[in-house]
């Protein structure tokens, strides 16, 4: 029987915020590390929301790793200074974000075609030996050869690990993952490697683990938003019944809802805009009519009615 790999919760902007992470760790767990959505400089400073998200006091998960997104050494160093100020000794560098607006400015996967810029950005790793760095990346922006050209730079750095999503940035989340290119990268990479991409079910985890037995771990994002029990089920080698899953999801939802209700001062519309993303990926095989009613709810009263109907289904 295969031994279990560490499962890491991928960061997703607008979905895996601190309230969600805390509630997930409480009611589901099974996660080795939770990663924060990336922090970046905006107009030379930080958004208050981003700073609040990484405050150690706001994070009650067993292991949290902040992630930074930058196109230059100077910007990355400014973000790292914030992490150090908050007491972090680990940082993840995002070389994978595929969103065109950011990538077009050489952020995330948009920097991958430019080895000199990548080398300059990652010189941060050697300048701060007291920080344990990891990198999350893609195969490239336009073609998978880009990551191979970066391997001499990566291999020369004291990285804790590399997480690879085997698509190019231009694909965003469409099309197939390129497992052949992933295998080539893995063979030449000297660092512990974590696989990320299209892990939706237990079978997907086992298939990837079987295909790549030397993996150091698996990172899951949307698959955990769809089934928050996925990591727990893999680790415990046991599956929740549909009723057990729905009951736990209800506790997860109640926790997130109550935390946002307490914090937000912008009225019903603001709370609704924070809670609707909770359902975007969740339980895709559930009753479509019930999920549609939640997505279409135009005020908090309708939302709460639709949510109650969802959790009371039999």
Domain borders along the chain are 7-236, 242-312
Q: Is residue 151 within 8 Å of residue 187, measured between CB atoms?
A: no
Which tens digits make up the pLDDT trace of 267-289? 889 999 999 999 999 999 899 99
Per-residue pLDDT reduced to its tens digit, 102-112? 999 999 999 99
User: Could you say which architecture CATH assigns to the domain 7-236?
Assistant: Alpha-Beta Barrel (3.20)
Q: What is the residue-averaged pLDDT of the chain? A: 96
| pLDDT the model gives residue 314 | 66
Query: What is residue 265's predicted lDDT score, i.e. its pLDDT?
Result: 82
Instruction: Please tell me the predicted confidence (pLDDT) of residue 1.
Output: 58
* Averaged pLDDT for residues 161-168: 98
Per the CB < 8 A criterion, the answer to whether 230 and 203 are in contact is no
Are 251 and 27 within 8 A, CB to CB?
A: yes
Mean pLDDT within 152-181: 97
Kindly state the average pLDDT of the residues 113-127: 98
Task: Judge whether residue 44 has pLDDT over 90.
Answer: no
> Considering the chain, what percentage of its residues have pLDDT values greater than 70?
99
Across the range 105-122, mean pLDDT stands at 98
Quote the pTM value: 0.96
Q: What percent of the chain has pLDDT over 90?
A: 95
Q: What number is the average pLDDT over the span 175-196?
A: 98
Which pLDDT belongs to residue 313?
A: 83
Q: Is the pLDDT of residue 81 over 90?
A: yes
């Amino acid at each position: 029987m295969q031994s279990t790999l560490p499962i890491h919760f991928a960061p997703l902007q607008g979905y895996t915020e601190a309230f969600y992470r805390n509630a997930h760790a409480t009611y589901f767990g099974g996660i080795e590390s939770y990663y924060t959505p990336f922090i970046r400089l905006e107009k030379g400073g930080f958004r208050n929301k981003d700073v609040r998200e990484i405050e150690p006091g706001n994070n009650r998960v067993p292991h949290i790793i902040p992630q930074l997104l930058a196109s230059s050494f100077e910007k990355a160093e400014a973000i790292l200074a914030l992490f150090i100020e908050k007491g972090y000794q680990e940082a993840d560098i995002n070389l994978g974000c595929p969103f065109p607006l950011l990538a077009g400015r050489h952020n995330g996967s948009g920097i991958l075609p430019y080895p000199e810029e990548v080398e300059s950005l990652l010189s941060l790793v050697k300048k701060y030996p007291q920080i344990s760095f990891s990198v999350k990346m893609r195969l490239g922006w336009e073609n998978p050869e880009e990551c191979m050209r970066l391997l001499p730079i990566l291999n020369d750095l004291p990285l804790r690990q590399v997480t690879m999503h085997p698509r190019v940035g231009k694909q965003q989340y469409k099309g197939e993952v390129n497992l052949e290119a992933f295998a080539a990268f893995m063979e030449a990479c000297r660092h512990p490697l974590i696989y990320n991409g299209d892990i939706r079910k237990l079978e997907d985890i086992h298939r990837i683990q079987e295909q790549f037995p030397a993996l150091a771990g698996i990172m899951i994002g949307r698959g955990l938003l769809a089934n928050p029990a996925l990591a727990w089920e893999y680790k415990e080698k046991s599956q929740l019944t549909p009723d057990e899953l729905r009951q736990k999801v209800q506790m997860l939802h109640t926790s997130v809802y109550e935390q946002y209700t307490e914090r937000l001062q912008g009225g019903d519309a603001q709370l609704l805009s924070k809670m609707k993303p909770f359902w975007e990926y969740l339980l895709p095989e559930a009753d479509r009519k019930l999920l549609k009613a939640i997505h279409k709810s135009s005020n908090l009263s309708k939302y709460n009615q639709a949510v109650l109907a969802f959790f009371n289904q039999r």
